[in-house]
Structure 1
């Protein structure tokens, strides 16, 4: 398995340019389960950046990193992986289906992190091909956090393939969130994810959306921040979310969770459309 190591996080500007180029290229390669691994062996937390992330997602200040924050640190490596010439799928147009994070223990604010990213083997899906981008975070060699981002590359698909989905929980709303039209731009500023579908109405319409949509990982972070404020989060847990329907911006949404926060979901204002469902399991 080839490995590319960085002394610093790769620049997002050049990565986005490469992403566009990768989307326009011809597919001249076969998927490889033993593909490229990317390493960022020493990441020092920028406390100002962390504060900005907390502000836009709703996480309160504390002695440990928000559970979703390492995903932001790994994102440049995700983009680097998917825009590399060896990557078997065109990166633009890929659909984010779900995300699973496992926190083995809280990560201290001032810890130096080592991050690795690679892709998992492909599998059939009714709407194309599914694969995972897998991230790991270590502190002094100890595995403390993992992330599996499940993505769909659309194609003819396999109608007989099984799509693994979380069950929809029956939840009442405990909070109503009024989401402003600039939320996608605010989250893009801290996450680095400047996909045009999140930024402006016109740029989103170019990709078939009526107006800009919220980032899925913002929705996951905001949900967990809300649960943390209300009932707390365990030190060690796994949390998966499935992204069902895009959250258009601006909009008003309902958020609900079960006692203890093990099941949660995000709905539209009328509680008729499900945007996100989540499952939290203590380890």
Structure 2
């Protein structure tokens, strides 16, 4: 169980991933659990994150902020040589976070991260990175990031792909302009400097016609439209659909029902889907 005393630096990890990527082998996830105890929140970093994601400046952490603080541990785990896949080329396809209570910027937070549930997928293989944040021994937040490694599908993976026609967007819409530099701005705050998000030239090297927005920026920007209307505890679960090319404009729809919120983010002009998800309250014990 690697117990870290400070967050790992991401640039050396990315450099190592670029060099050692082809050396990853194996068919099982490593059993490592990374821990990082007693981290304080940097006020300037928090404000920068809130601004780039569209949240109001506050001493309450946005629900997606703890994902950013746990992210370096995830990268450290995924760059272990025992990890079965190289970091470059993995696709973040879904994310779920559960906020069990609001966390303030003056609280000290500890993190654990581990990998779980390697499974077949019609386009390759999937796995989850599970993160947990605690304050004074109390779990306050959990996250699950699902990644896809494209490749030959396993024999027991369903290869059937069904095309369904999207219904019209429902609910109040927020039109959000996504600027050309949002990948670089979010990357500077989050540490996620994947080249597909930074410049059109580097994105084209990986098969994209332009740079694309980070999925977790889009999730954060979507939840920011609901700021002040969410409960203290909830689960926000999303699937990332088609990438958001930079620059562009997206239409964010959030519909309230008895179960919570339905989220639907699409391209403003074409209607192509970018994100779909839900926000549901967490059942309180007793």
TM-score tier by shorter-chain length is over 0.9
> Cα offset for 1:182?
0.4
1:262 corresponding residue in structure 2? 261
CA contact (8 A) 2:265 2:273 kept: yes
TM-score, normalised by the number of residues in structure 1: 0.92
Indicate the residue corresponding to 2:9 in structure 1: 11
1:250 aligns with 2:247: yes
Question: Would you say the 8 A contact 1:169–1:263 is kept in 2?
Answer: no
Q: Give the one of 121, 126, 140 matched to 1:125.
A: 121
Going from structure 1 to structure 2, the CA distance change for 1:156 and 1:121 (only over 3 Å counts) comes to: same
Q: Which moved more, 1:95-104 or 1:56-65?
A: 56-65
Unaligned runs of 5+ in 2: none
- CA positional deviation for 1:158: 3.6
Which deviates more from structure 2 when the two are superposed, residues 36-45 or residues 263-272?
Answer: 263-272
Tell me the TM-score normalised to structure 2 length.
Answer: 0.91
Shift of 1:259: 2.6
Residue number among 23, 44, 55 corresponding to 1:25 in the alignment: 23
Deviations 1:197-224 (A, max 9, x none): 0000100000000010000000000000
Structure 1 residues 26, 277: closer, same or farther in 2, change over 3 A?
Answer: closer
How many Å apart are 1:159 and its aligned residue? 6.7
State the 1:49 CA deviation. Answer: 0.2
Residue of structure 2 in register with 1:57 after alignment: 53
SS in 2 for 1:258: strand
Q: CA RMSD in A?
A: 1.9
Equivalenced residue count is 275
Secondary structure, counterpart of 1:208 in structure 2: coil
Runs of 4+ in 1 over 3 A off after TM superposition: 167-170
In structure 2, the partner of 1:193 is 192
Give the CA deviation at 1:13.
1.6
Q: Deviations over 1:33-59 (max 9, x none)?
A: x61111111211000000000000011
Partner of 1:238: 235
Where do 1:117-266 residues align within 5 Å? 117-158=113-154, 161=157, 171-172=169-170, 174-229=173-228, 232-259=229-256, 262-266=261-265
CA distance in 2, matches of 1:38, 1:170: 43
Whether the aligned pair in 2 keeps the contact of 1:245 and 1:273 (CA below 8 Å) is yes
- Structure 1 gap segments, 5+ residues each: none
Contact 2:266 2:275 in 1 (8 A): yes
- Check whether the contact 1:117–1:136 (CA below 8 A) recurs between aligned residues: yes
Moved more, 141-150 or 256-265: 256-265
CA distance in 2, matches of 1:103, 1:272: 30
